[in-house]
Amino acid sequence: MKKNCKAVWDNCLKIIKDNISPQSFKTWFEPIKPVRLLDNVLTIQVPSQFFYEWLEEHYISLLKKTIKKELGTEGRLEYSIIMDNSFNNPTPYTIKFPTSNKKATANPAMTMPIDLNRGLSKDIPNPFIIPGLKKIKVNSQLNENYSFDNFVEGDCNRLARSAGYAVANNPGKTAFNPLLIYSNVGLGKTHLAHAIGLEVKNNFPEKTVLYVTSEQFTNQYIDAVRNNNQNDFIHFYQMIDVLIIDDIQFLASKEKTQEVYFHIFNHLHQNSRQLIITSDKPPVEMEGMNARLLSRFKWGLAADLQVPDLETRIAILEKKLYKDGVEMPREVVEYLSYSITTNVRELEGALISILAQSSLNKKSITLDLAKKMIDKFVKNTSREISIDYIQKIVCDYFGLPLEAINSKTRKREIVQARQLAMYFAKKLTKASLATIGLHCGNKDHATVLHACRTVNNLIETDKQFRVYVDELDKKITL
C-alpha cells in the first residue's frame, strides 16, 4: 500500500508532540508542510534556512527516530526551502537540503543581492542618498529603563535574548536580520526591543538608532502624503542604521504603508542595516500582510517569548524590588509568582498594587494583605492554574520542600506527592504528558500515565487517600 506524505508526517507529528513542550511544537513544527514522499524520502517544506538549521541542531535525533519508525530503516528526510529573489526577478526558487550532521550543513546565501545603481552611469549619485546630508540626528525614542540589565533571562526568553544581544554587538552583520520578536501581550517584546537599541547606542555611538511604533510610522506616512513629501519620508528612514518597529501587526490591511515599508526594508537590509520587528504573532499567522513583506520577515530569525516559569517570575519580582529599594517577605513574593502566571505586566502591576496599599494605609506587607489584593486582581485577569502552583500546594500540604518533588528519591511519601502533582496537572492544566513529566523530575510521558492510573486506583480503594485528593482539589481550585 502506497503511503501518503501528509499521513506519514501527521503520524510523525503525533510522536514529536508528545516528546517536546507545546510552545516548542507550535514554534518549530506547526509551520512545517509535507511536500512529497518518494522512494522512502519524505520532503518537508520549512519557512527559512535558519529554521532548517535550528531543526538540524536541536531536533535531528528525534526527527531521525520518528522517520525511521514511520518509513523503516531506509527512511530519510529532506528539507525544501522556498527562497525569494530580488524584486527585479520576483520568481521564487527552491533549495533542497538532505538530513545531515551539523558539520555537513550547507550555508548558501539567504538572499539575492540588489544593485541599487543598476542602469545608472557612474556620474549619477545613488538615488537613495540625499545630496549634502552625510549624517542625521534623531531622537531614538528609547526608554533607558528597558535595558538588558533590567531584563531577567529565563528558559522562556533565552533564545530571543541571546539573539538580541548578538544583534546589539554586531548590528546588520549577523544572520538575525531581520530579528522578529513575537509573543502574547505583556511578556517583554517591547522591553527587549528597547534593550537591543540601547546596547547598540552604547557599543556604537556613531550609529543612528530609531524606535517607532507601527502606529507612529503609519501616521508619519499619512502626514507625508498629505504634505506631498513622501520622498523625504523614505529618504529619512533609509538613513537609519538600526530601525525598530513595534507591533508590526498593526500594519495589516494598510497596503500603501506596507508598500513603503517594504522598500525601506529592502534598502536597509541590502546595505547591512539592522531591522528589528515585534509582533503578537509569528509571520505564518499574520493576516492582512503583503506576501512579499512576510517572506522578508522570514529571512532572519523569528524568536518567541514564552510564558515565564516560576523561577523566572520570582526573579523578575526580586529584581524590581531591589531596583526600587523595597523589601518584601519571601512568602509574599512566592505567592504573587504562583498566583499570576501568564503575564509579566500583570505580575508587576500586582506588585505595585500591594506596595501602594501598604504605603497608603500604613500597613505592613503580609501574606494576608497580598491574598486580599490578589484575590481581587486574579478575578479580573482569569487566573490559570499552573504546574508550578500545583506542586507548591501539594508540597505544602504534605510538609515537603518544593525541590523534593523533582528529586530522584524513591521515598514513599515523596513518590506519592509527585504522583498527585502529576495527576492534578493532567486534570487541571492543558499541558501535554511530556511537559508534565518534564516539570515533575524530568520523567517521560509513560511515567505520568502510570502515576495517574495509580492515583485513580488509590482513590477507589483507600479512604484516607481519597480525603487527601479531595482536600488538595479544594486548595488548588480555590
Q: Which has more pLDDT, 239 or 380?
A: 239
- Do 203 and 290 sit in the same domain of this protein? yes
Q: Which has more pLDDT, 135 or 242?
A: 242
Q: Which of 38-52, 108-122, 137-151 has the lowest mean pLDDT?
A: 108-122
**CB contact burial 386-407 (16+ within 10 A = b; e otherwise):** bbbbbbbbbbeebebeeebbee
pLDDT of 477 above 80: no
37: CB partners within 8 A, 6+ apart: 3, 4, 5, 8, 43
Task: Give the CATH number, domain containing residue 400.
Answer: 1.10.1750.10
Half-sphere exposure of 318 (CA within 13 A, CB side): 12
- Do 87 and 174 sit in the same domain of this protein? no
| Residue-level pLDDT at 295 | 86
- Do 411 and 427 sit in the same domain of this protein? yes
- Do 335 and 272 sit in the same domain of this protein? no
Please provide the average confidence, as pLDDT, over all residues in the chain. 80
- Do 95 and 40 sit in the same domain of this protein? yes
Measured in degrees and rounded to the nearest 5, phi and psi for residue 189 equal -60, -50
Band of residue 446 on the pLDDT scale cut at 50, 70, 90: confident
Q: Which of 81-90, 200-209, 445-454 has the lowest mean pLDDT?
A: 81-90
**Strands (E) located in 247-325:** 274-279, 301-304
The number of beta carbons lying within 10 Å of the beta carbon of residue 256 is 12
DSSP result, 197-258: HHHHHHH-TTS-EEEEEHHHHHHHHHHHHHTT-HHHHHHHHHT-SEEEEE-GGGGTT-HHHH
| Residue-level pLDDT at 370 | 80
The grid cell for 48 is 527559512
- CA-CA distance, 377 to 208, in Å (whole number)? 42
Could you report the per-residue pLDDT of 238-280, keeping only the tens digit for each?
Answer: 889 999 999 999 998 888 899 999 989 988 988 889 999 999 8
Total structural domains within the chain: 4
The grid cell for 90 is 520576483
- Give the residue numbers spanning the domain of 80: 5-101
- 143: in domain: no
Place of cell 538615488: 127
Q: What is the mean pLDDT of residues 231-238?
A: 85
Could you report the per-residue pLDDT of 355-376, keeping only the tens digit for each?
Answer: 887 777 777 888 877 877 776 6
- Do 365 and 391 sit in the same domain of this protein? no
- 264: in domain: yes
- 124: in domain: no
- Do 314 and 410 sit in the same domain of this protein? no
pLDDT of 86 above 50: no
- 195: in domain: yes
The grid cell for 266 is 529592502
Band of residue 194 on the pLDDT scale cut at 50, 70, 90: very high
Alpha-carbon 322 to chain mean position: 27
- Do 376 and 415 sit in the same domain of this protein? no
- CA-CA distance, 452 to 465, in Å (whole number)? 14
Band of residue 124 on the pLDDT scale cut at 50, 70, 90: very low
Residue count (the chain): 478
pLDDT of 85 above 50: no
Q: Which of 272-281, 327-336, 420-429 has the lowest mean pLDDT?
A: 327-336
The grid cell for 324 is 526600587
- Do 174 and 222 sit in the same domain of this protein? yes
Q: What is the percentage of the chain residues whose pLDDT exceeds 70?
A: 85
Task: Give the CATH number, domain containing residue 55.
Answer: 3.30.300.180
Q: What is the mean pLDDT of residues 437-456?
A: 87
Is-contact 184 341, C-beta < 8 A?
no
- Do 172 and 288 sit in the same domain of this protein? yes
Would you give the DSSP letter of residue 278? E
- 118: in domain: no
pTM strictly above 0.75: no
pLDDT of 382 above 70: no
- CA-CA distance, 239 to 136, in Å (whole number)? 8
Task: Give the CATH number, domain containing residue 350.
Answer: 1.10.8.60
Domain boundary among 304, 337, 363: 304
- Do 258 and 169 sit in the same domain of this protein? yes
Domain boundary among 304, 321, 353: 304
Band of residue 92 on the pLDDT scale cut at 50, 70, 90: very low
- Do 183 and 275 sit in the same domain of this protein? yes
